[in-house]
Structure 1
Amino acid sequence: MSYNINYQHIIFRTDHSFPSIPQEHKVELLSYVNSVSIDMGVRVLRINAYQNHVHILIDLPASMSLSEYVRKIKQTSSAAFNGNPNYPFFKGWAKGYGSFSVSHYERERIINYIKGQDEHHRVKTFSEELAEFFGKEKIAADKYWKQNWEE
């Protein structure tokens, strides 16, 4: 019998990092992403959003690619929320995403980090957060970053 745990911390942002996720209605988006994930057979351990980006911690099944999961989440949620009156400025998602594997032993720390996004972003911008995740040296040398992630 095989056993697989593949925890992935995924981050993606709104189109042009525009703050188009209204905090008073973000539960709609989070519930939607969770529902699509369940339909895909993906277990969401924690999800949260803050104004211009989303964090998701999932357990990705061995039978599914990460890019397949993110593509489906971004495509379906973009279609569902573009034109939603509670999301008047939402125009979809930016190209790309960040993903980081998470060990079983780090899982709770990442869950708490995602849970605390509102407090976290009172003192740190999304760009500063990404620089910590990706590493400032990598960002400085990465052409893809400049084209797709800079605000």
Structure 2
Amino acid sequence: MSTYTQFLYQLVFGSKDHIPFLSLQNKEILFAYIAGILKKKSCHSYIVGGAVNHIHIITHIHPTACPAYLIKDVKEATHALILRERSLFCNFSGWQVGYSGFTYHISSKNALNRYVQNQEEHHKRIAFKDELISLLNENNVDYKEEYLFI
């Protein structure tokens, strides 16, 4: 039998120490680069976005891909890109340790895409930490607040 899956993920990770580094000048470059990495890993990215200090990825993950290794590869490759393009990403000091990942039914895809598209506006009202805590709670993920941003 062939393998048929539908794993819709929201993957979220931020910059080390929450330092703002995304701007109008660099974010589309980084988002497109991440989408390219996902494509090379046989994952379909529906949208890559974020706000000044963090990234959201809505993606279908290939059945052979492990989310932890996928994020590791994305972080390593984007870190290398950012070092090459230092003038565009002058405030970047690295990625935080870890990531958050949430699974959704495919019917949530459009709502998730809108959520990611509206990140800049969303973060005029809510801090990344509060957003992450809300996502963790909505998805019934156990966590210890003191370990959220190490």
Q: Output the TM-score relative to the length of structure 1.
A: 0.89
Aligned equivalents of 1:148, 1:111: Cα separation in 2 = 24
Instruction: Verify the 8 A CA contact 2:50 2:119 in the aligned structure 1.
Output: yes
Tell whether the 8 Å contact from 1:82 to 1:91 is kept in structure 2 after alignment.
no
Say whether 1:129 aligns with 2:131: yes
For residues 88 and 45 of structure 2, the distance between their equivalents in structure 1, rounded to whole angstroms, comes to 24
Question: For 1:52-107, what per-residue CA distance to the aligned partner results, in whole angstroms no more than 9, with x for missing partners?
Answer: 00000010011111111111000110111035211001112000000000101111
Report the Cα distance in structure 1 between the residues aligned to 2:81 and 2:119, rounded to whole angstroms.
23
Equivalent pair of 2:43/2:59 in contact (CA under 8 Å): yes
Q: Does 1:39 align with 2:40?
A: yes
- 3-state SS of 1:47 partner: strand
- The within-5 A match list for 1:62-141 is 62-82=63-83, 84-135=86-137
Alignment partner of 1:5: what SS? coil
For 2:94 and 2:38, locate their aligned partners in 1 and report how far apart those are by CA, in whole Å.
18
Query: Quick one: which amino acid aligns to residue 20 of structure 2?
Result: P
AA aligned opposite 1:29? L
Amino acid at match of 2:19: F
Task: State the partner residue of 1:10.
Answer: 11
Q: Offset at 1:149? A: 1.8
What is the CA RMSD across the aligned residues, in angstroms? Answer: 1.9
So what's the TM-score if we normalise by structure 2? 0.90
* Shift, 1:36, TM fit: 1.2
Where in structure 1 do 4 or more consecutive aligned residues deviate above 6 Å? none
How far did 1:27 drift?
A: 0.5
- The gaps in structure 2 that reach 5 residues or longer are none
Unaligned runs of 5+ in 1: none
Q: For residues 45 and 142 of structure 1, what CA distance do their matches in structure 2 show? A: 27
Query: Partners of 1:53 and 1:23 in 2: how far apart?
Result: 14
> Which runs of structure 2 are paired with 1:43-54 in the superposition (5 Å)?
43-54=44-55
Identity of counterpart residues, as a percentage? 18
How many residues end up aligned between the 2 structures?
147
Using the alignment, how far apart are the partners of 1:82 and 1:90 within structure 2?
Answer: 9
Query: Aligned partners of 2:42, 2:3: CA distance in 1, in Å?
Result: 17
Q: Which digits, 9 at most, give the CA deviation of each residue in 1:90-130, with x for residues without a partner?
A: 11200000000010111111111011101111111111111
